Amino acid sequence: MRQVNLRSVDLNLLVVLEKLLETRHVSVAATQLHMSQPAVSRALQRLRDALQDPLLVRIAGDYELTERAMEIQRLLPSALATIKDVIAKPEFDPTTAEETIRFSGPELELNLYGPPLLRRMKREAPAMKLEMKSDIRNQFEPLENGKAHFVLSGQTPTTATSQLHRFSLGRFSYVCLMSRNHPLAGKPVSLEDYLSQDHISVMITGAGHSIIDEKLAVLGHKRNVAVKIGSFFAAMHFCGQSDMLFLVPSIFDTQIYTGHNTVPSPVPDFLKDHHQEFFLYWHERYHHDPMIKWTRNLMKETTKQYRAGE
């Protein structure tokens, strides 16, 4: 097969070619294309040169298609339709969509934001599905390799940041979680109280709540972390079944606290300015995808109550 340099082909000529093959007449094609007859004649000559075939030949006073032209006429409609699909702006209708939206992130973020998103999505896009994978080893790798559309995370990426977009899902202060039977339950926790208790720490990045330990170190103190655990909700369960303290973002509702036999108390003064902000991240490759834009808007709606000024 002869190699074709597409850069030398004017795709506008294909529209003219389709009409010429249909009408088999330069003047009629020009009229239907709203072009001048000389312009269509020049286009025909360019097509003959590019395709190395006369395409239209005069026989007994009329123009007939060559064998090559008849083959092109058979293939051209689907080729033009494909080109239109490539160029046309993609559409997305959530009411009929059946796609799967893939999320990745730590267990906490997926559990906090997944259920309300699912409830809203099932109302507006009943046939769509959610896929949520918790992987804390490299939270943003699924965005880089295309295995996830979104990452939900309170962490900040360190690589490929120029290719990532994000918006805030809310910024939260902390509360001190403890068993409902704990002597400090429901009471403000002083620094002295805090230091006298054993603590649970979640190892999201392998180091637990290092910022808290750094704050204590500045004050010349150190807490006793009796349990380090890799699951946030397992840590809440441990807390409810022991006399240890556990710091959590204030986004949780009463139902979650009650389910783990825990209650929240105000944190010591040195932690009053300690906050956790969560973000929705996505990669540039999906930034203009209509399904992804729809999902982002849905996330904004479901988290609107947590974002100041909205």
Lowest model confidence (mean pLDDT) among 133-142, 185-194, 229-238, 258-267: 133-142
Reported as a single tens digit per residue, the pLDDT across 192-248 is: 999 999 999 988 655 445 788 889 999 999 999 999 998 888 999 999 999 999 999
Provide the CATH number for the domain around residue 193. Answer: 3.40.190.290
**Are 172 and 264 part of one and the same domain?**
yes
At residue 1, the pLDDT reads 46
Q: Which residue has the higher pLDDT, 297 or 51?
A: 297
**Are 147 and 256 part of one and the same domain?**
yes
Domains of the chain: total: 2
* Boundary residue ending a domain (69, 85, 101): 85
**Are 109 and 42 part of one and the same domain?**
no
Q: The domain containing residue 44 runs over which residues? A: 6-85
Take residue 215 and report the two structure tokens written for it: 């704050």
**Are 152 and 177 part of one and the same domain?**
yes
Reported as a single tens digit per residue, the pLDDT across 79-89 is: 888 887 777 77
Torsion sign over Cα 25, 28, 33, 37: positive
Closest CA to 55 of 32, 72, 75, 35: 72
Residues 6+ apart with CB under 8 A from 201: 208, 209, 225, 227, 228, 229, 235
**Are 159 and 285 part of one and the same domain?**
yes
Average pLDDT value over all residues in the chain: 88
- Is 268 part of a structural domain of the chain? yes
At residue 210, the pLDDT reads 73
pTM: 0.73
**Are 291 and 150 part of one and the same domain?**
yes
Take residue 198 and report the two structure tokens written for it: 């054993």
- Is 195 part of a structural domain of the chain? yes
**233 touches 111 (CB < 8 A):** yes
**Are 204 and 263 part of one and the same domain?**
yes
pLDDT surpassing 90 at residue 7: no
* Boundary residue ending a domain (85, 108, 138): 85
- Is 163 part of a structural domain of the chain? yes
The stretches of the chain forming alpha helices (DSSP H) are 12-23, 26-33, 37-51, 67-87, 107-124, 141-144, 191-196, 210-218, 232-240, 254-259, 290-302
- Is 1 part of a structural domain of the chain? no
**Are 115 and 140 part of one and the same domain?**
yes
Provide the CATH number for the domain around residue 14. Answer: 1.10.10.10
**Are 115 and 259 part of one and the same domain?**
yes
**Are 11 and 77 part of one and the same domain?**
yes
**Are 227 and 99 part of one and the same domain?**
yes
At residue 150, the pLDDT reads 96
* Boundary residue ending a domain (59, 85, 111): 85
> Residue 100: what residue type?
T
**Are 269 and 183 part of one and the same domain?**
yes
- Is 290 part of a structural domain of the chain? yes
